[in-house]
Amino acid sequence: MDLEQVLILVSAALAAGWIDAVVGGGGLLLLPALMVTAPGLPVATVLGTNKLAAIMGTSSAAVTYSRHTRPDGRVTLPAALLAVAGAGAGAACASMISSDMLRPIVMIGLTAVAVFVAVRPQFGAAAHADLATRRRMVLAVLLTGGVIGFYDGILGPGTGTFLIIAFTLVMGLDFVHASASAKIVNTGTNLGALLVFGLQGHVLWQLGLLMGVANIVGAQIGARMAIRRGSAFVRVVLLVVVVALVLRLGYDQFMAG
């Protein structure tokens, strides 16, 4: 790659880190940037290199959020551990299941999320601690670590967004605290997928580390903005990212190729 290509990817990683830290969905920007800038790369290498950059930004955002919001470790830690296994299994199965089969399901799910958040302006605005029962904690661990973790390994787009919605719905968290919990679990999903892609030789380590540094910068800016501006800010960004994800997946499904 020449200097111009590297600068484009570093800039994309910076912006993706900001998006990911606020509501997830940084892959919406970084994956297409990798595919356009380096069209000759195998898809698995694009995914693996993206995971290397993403885990650096996501883990740094998780640390920043944790210092200010103190996520419930009884849920986030087991969910993150399960997410490592779930995402690893998903990445291992990535070549066995067609993305064309999964995209319509994800598009429907994201559209439902957008409609639900749009018509429920109070959703995620404040925490509802009474919902955090032991049964709901177990459900949150299985849903975020197992189901969404597997999804991140096998396909990926919108993982952070799905995690935020899951924590808000199941645990009654506000959007800022849900984002904090999501970053911890998302670090686990990125790690699980990265281990598999790395063992398969599908990671460009030098490029991924360079993009990862930019991703950390973007993630720090995004996390601090979300904490400072609160749930109303996160809600607006969430809606914008969800709509963009639906449009992107729709293009991939019906227009590309």
Residue 50: what pLDDT? 92
Residue 257: what pLDDT? 54
Distance CA 241, CA 20 (A): 10
Residue 21: what pLDDT? 93
Q: How confident is the model at residue 43 (pLDDT cuts 50, 70, 90)?
A: confident
pLDDT digits (tens, 9 = 90+) for 185-196: 999 999 999 999
- Once rounded to an integer, what is the mean pLDDT over residues 168-173? 93
Residue 95: what pLDDT? 67
Q: Please check the confidence at residue 210 and state whether its pLDDT lies above 90.
A: yes
Higher-confidence position of 95 and 8: 8
- The sign one gets for the Cα dihedral 239, 185, 22, 56 is negative
pLDDT digits (tens, 9 = 90+) for 212-238: 999 999 999 999 999 999 999 999 998
Percentage of the residues of the chain whose pLDDT score is greater than 70: 97
The pTM (predicted TM-score) of the whole model is 0.89
| Range among 68-72, 113-117, 144-148 with highest mean pLDDT value | 144-148
- Once rounded to an integer, what is the mean pLDDT over residues 66-75? 92
Note whether 67 and 227 are within 8 A (CB). Answer: no
